[in-house]
């Protein structure tokens, strides 16, 4: 007798093979420090932006996590939770260098399709790679390649699934050094043991919204029809969730960048008017260089200051759509003249109203000489180092505001 249910399931599996591999580097910053310093291995370690109890941990080793220390834990609290914790000041440029070495190691096994952040990337399987046995073998080869070509103690968690969303979910299901496969035949039951906020895109607010709709378990979420999910999410994202939870590999729309910015807590010797302004100029120059590399134009600049007595100030101005640093520095100078008196503690600059180059409208106010100057500076810095050519206003602070990494962005060495 023919088993029609089994035949239908086999047809579904054929339509939805394992198309994606998602890789998550475990406790990345802390793991790099333990790789470079053998005396830290097996010890609770936290990476911090500066050596002070008034900041928070930006990474924690698994040994520290066992004591309750995690990303965002204040250093003073981390010391209470784990008196033996070793605090290490972040070395962001080094983490970026390791990131590129890891990408190369992964690509020796499978091309990297998307880099989501410094510690996350995804690869697409093609053809025969989509079979479970072949995909699993590739994942194991990637783990081996990272250890052999990047760092012998570095480990990662890998998820394999029919779409990238579920591959990321799978990568979070077993840490550290996990390898989890979500096959089409496993859906949706394999998700039932998860909490709603284990899914990417379900943060605190969305979790509360789901609760208001009476959705408290993953099983309830997976059972909802497409129109209900669309209503809960108030739009197309809910419809995408319906497809993702069923293993559909739908095309994700390209996202447009909204802002580019940098911030810096001033060291004691730069907590002056002159020091803060020089750092602000450097932050603008870094943001402008990133903007040009991304092929965007900016239509506005925001300047924000935080003062020693816990007081903040912010102002912004519009600009002619531009990429050149000089126009941005002129806008910064105008904003700086508006700031209130006080001892500055931190400064940030943000470029907003971003427009992709292909949508940029030419203006009569654009100066082609400035464009050529920026192109020449970028070419020199790309070849010889990012601080070889710069505007004189930052000379005294060119080593301040070094490279910092946001986990949710692709790292740059600017």
Residues with a catalytic annotation lie at 120
Q: How far is CA 394 from CA 32, 91, 279, 334, 371, in A?
A: 31, 22, 7, 17, 20
Contact 257, 296 (CB under 8 A): yes
Supply the Cα-derived Rg of the chain in whole angstroms: 24
Q: What is the DSSP string of 28-81?
A: HHHHHHHHH-GGGTTS-EEEESSSSTTSB-SEE-HHHHTTT--TT-BHHHHHHH
Answer for the pair 210, 199: CB distance below 8 angstroms, yes or no.
Answer: no
Q: Which residue, among 408, 26, 34, has the nearest Cα to 179 in the 3D structure?
A: 26
Q: How many helices (H) and strands (E) does the chain have?
A: 14, 13
Alpha helices in 199-324 (DSSP H): 204-212, 218-223, 226-232, 236-245, 273-293
Structure tokens at 385: 């180092």
Task: Give the Å distances, CA to CA, from 232 to 165, 213, 224, 235, 253.
Answer: 19, 8, 10, 8, 20
Find the Cα–Cα–Cα–Cα dihedral 249, 255, 260, 263, rounded to 10°.
-40
Grouping H, G, I as helix, E, B as strand and the rest as coil, residue 392 is: helix
Cis omega (within 30 of 0) on the bond before 188? yes
Give the list of residues 6+ apart from residue 121 with CB closer than 8 angstroms, or none.
Answer: 22, 23, 103, 106, 112, 114, 115
For residues 407, 408, 410, 412, the Cα torsion angle rounded to the nearest 10 degrees is: -50
């Amino acid at each position: 007798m023919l088993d029609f249910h089994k035949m239908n399931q086999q047809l579904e599996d054929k339509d939805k093979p394992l198309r994606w591999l998602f890789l998550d580097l475990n406790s990345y910053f802390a793991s790099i420090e333990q790789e470079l310093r053998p005396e830290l291995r097996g010890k609770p370690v936290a990476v911090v932006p500066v050596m002070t109890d008034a900041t928070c941990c930006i990474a924690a080793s698994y040994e520290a996590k066992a004591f309750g220390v995690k990303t965002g834990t204040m250093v003073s609290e981390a010391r209470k939770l784990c008196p033996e914790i070793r605090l290490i000041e972040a070395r962001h440029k080094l983490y970026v260098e390791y990131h590129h070495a890891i990408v190369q190691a992964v690509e020796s096994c499978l091309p990297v399709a998307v880099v989501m952040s410094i510690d996350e990337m995804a690869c697409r399987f093609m053809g025969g790679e989509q079979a479970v046995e072949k995909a699993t073998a590739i994942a194991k080869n990637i783990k081996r390649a990272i250890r052999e070509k990047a760092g012998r103690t570095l480990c990662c968690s890998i998820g394999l699934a029919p779409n990238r969303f579920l591959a990321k979910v799978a990568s979070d299901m077993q840490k550290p050094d996990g390898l989890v496969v979500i096959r089409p035949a496993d859906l949706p039951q394999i998700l039932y043991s998860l909490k709603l906020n284990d899914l990417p895109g379900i943060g605190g607010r969305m979790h509360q919204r789901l609760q208001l709709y009476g959705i408290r378990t993953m099983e309830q979420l997976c059972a909802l029809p497409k129109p209900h999910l669309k209503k809960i999410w108030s739009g197309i994202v809910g419809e995408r969730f319906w497809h993702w939870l069923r293993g559909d590999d739908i095309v994700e729309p390209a996202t447009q960048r909204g802002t580019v910015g940098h911030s810096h807590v001033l060291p004691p010797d730069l907590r002056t008017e002159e020091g803060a302004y020089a750092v602000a100029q450097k932050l603008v120059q870094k943001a402008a260089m990133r903007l040009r590399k991304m092929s965007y134009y900016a239509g506005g600049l925001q300047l924000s200051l935080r003062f020693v007595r816990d007081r903040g100030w912010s102002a912004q101005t519009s600009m002619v759509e531009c990429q050149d640093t000089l126009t941005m520095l002129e806008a910064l100078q105008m904003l700086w003249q508006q700031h209130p008196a006080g001892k500055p503690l931190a400064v940030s600059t943000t470029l907003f109203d971003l427009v992709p180059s292909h949508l940029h409208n030419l203006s009569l106010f654009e100066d082609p000489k400035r464009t050529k100057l920026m192109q020449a500076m970028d070419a020199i810095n790309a070849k010889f180092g990012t601080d070889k050519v710069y505007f004189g206003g930052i000379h005294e602070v060119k080593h301040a505001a070094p490279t910092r990494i946001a986990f949710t962005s692709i790292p740059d060495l600017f």
